[in-house]
Amino acid sequence: MIMVALLGRLWGLAVVPRHWKPVLARTAFMVTSMLLYFGVMPMMPIAEAGAGLFTSPIFVLLFSSILFKERIGWRRILAVIIGSAGVLLVLRPGSAGFTVYHLLPVVAGASYAMGSLITYRHLREESPLAILMSFIVSIGIVGAFSTTGLTLFPVSDEMRQQAPFLFSGWQSVEGIFWVWIAVIAAGASVALSLMTRAYQLTKTSYAAIYEYAYLLSVGFFGWLFWDIIPDMVSIAGIALIIMAGVVIVLAQSRSE
Amino acid sequence: MLSNLSPASRGAVLLVAGISIFGFSDNLTLLVSDQVGVGLLHVSR
């Protein structure tokens, strides 16, 4: 929050939204997306969860076609088919290890897509730092309320054992926790400031291609820190999802 | 070094660097996921 406020002062951008309704609607979808995505991280290779989240460009196309009757053209229809095949390869519904929780990153991708559509259709004139500040404040508030709710009204033991990170209430932490939180928060702050600057320099639709570097990075550090490597079928699925995203972005750039 | 690049290339480098740092820091979530829930993680962060 402090960093966003400082950037706002430095760049002369507002950190308080002017268009409250669409900002709140966008924030609701983005917060839902991030809570679901982070919530399942301990349950599967993070690169696979990330691939689920990165289905959002596919959902943007589907929602644009269904909700706004936009024509999407054969290239992007092909991208939807490729991306959907990739999702099936990563998730493998019906296989032994598949649970309903494996669907949550894809739900996160759909929610992220709704947030992106609201940004594109209603918030082009809004300050990007105001949008970011709204998200940061809201995810903290929602996190506090959901944790309190799970403390007062805990889920069944069975659900908690299946997804402890998703369903835990308030609890005491060890001192080292705050060290790791500081490192995570510092990493996120540096990353956000670099990306905010990047989006000021690069055409937004074209820049989205580079965001797929996240899947390479998260997969690399997952291997380095935890020795977690997705299997070959999942890697093929992740590659298809990346391919679909790149086709969508390039088709978007052509149409602009 | 970055100043020699075009604005679009500079943006691409910064974007890849930023998103890659997210890949690093998101992996660290597993260090704390046995101590807290996802809601408390975001409150703390």
Q: Indicate the pLDDT class of residue A252, thresholds 50, 70 and 90.
A: confident
Number of domains in chain B: 1
| Angle, helix A232-255 to helix A46-53, in steps of 10 degrees | 30
Residue A69: is its pLDDT beyond 70?
A: yes
Q: Determine the structural domain holding residue A111 and report its residue range.
A: 2-255
Q: Percentage of chain A with pLDDT > 70? A: 98
Which is higher by pLDDT, A61 or B24?
Answer: B24
Q: Which residues of B touch A42 (CB under 8 A)?
A: 29-30, 33-34
pLDDT, tens only, A137-196: 999 999 999 999 999 999 999 999 989 999 999 988 888 999 999 999 999 988 988 887
Dist CA A103 CA B4 (whole Å): 44
Buried b / exposed e along A44-54 (16+ C-beta atoms within 10 A): bbbbbbbbbbb
Smallest CA–CA separation between A197 and chain B, in Å? Answer: 7
Dist CA A37 CA A242 (whole Å): 18
Smallest CA–CA separation between A157 and chain B, in Å? Answer: 15
Q: Which of A162, A168, A174, A242 best tests the B interface by mutation, with the highest count of B CBs <10 A? A: A168
Per DSSP, A216 falls in state H
For A103-167, the DSSP string reads GHHHHHHHHHHHHHHHHHHH-TTS-HHHHHHHHHHHHHHHHHHHHHHHHHS---HHHHHH-HHHH
Q: Helical H runs in A12-45?
A: 20-39
Question: Would you state the pLDDT for residue B10?
Answer: 85
Q: Which residues of A touch B6 (CB under 8 A)?
A: none
Complex ipTM more than 0.90, yes or no = yes
Dist CA A200 CA A233 (whole Å): 37
Are A41 and B29 inside 8 Å of each other by CB? yes
* Amino acid (1-letter code) at residue B19: I
Q: Which residues of B touch A201 (CB under 8 A)?
A: 7-8, 10-11, 14
* Amino acid (1-letter code) at residue A215: L
Per DSSP, A87 falls in state H
Q: Indicate the pLDDT class of residue A199, thresholds 50, 70 and 90.
A: confident
User: pTM of this prediction?
Assistant: 0.90
Q: Indicate the pLDDT class of residue A123, thresholds 50, 70 and 90.
A: confident
Q: Which of A143, A214, A218 sits opposite B39 (nearest CB)?
A: A143
In this structure, are residues A84 and A58 in contact, taking their beta carbons and an 8 Å threshold? Answer: yes
Number of domains in chain A: 1
| Angle, helix A232-255 to helix A213-226, in steps of 10 degrees | 160
Are B25 and A147 inside 8 Å of each other by CB? no
Smallest CA–CA separation between A216 and chain B, in Å? Answer: 8
Q: Which of A217, A220, A242 best tests the B interface by mutation, with the highest count of B CBs <10 A? A: A217
Alpha-carbon dihedral angle through residues A9, A11, A31, A184, given to the nearest 10 degrees:
-80
Q: Percentage of chain A with pLDDT > 90? A: 57
Q: Determine the structural domain holding residue B33 and report its residue range.
A: 2-44
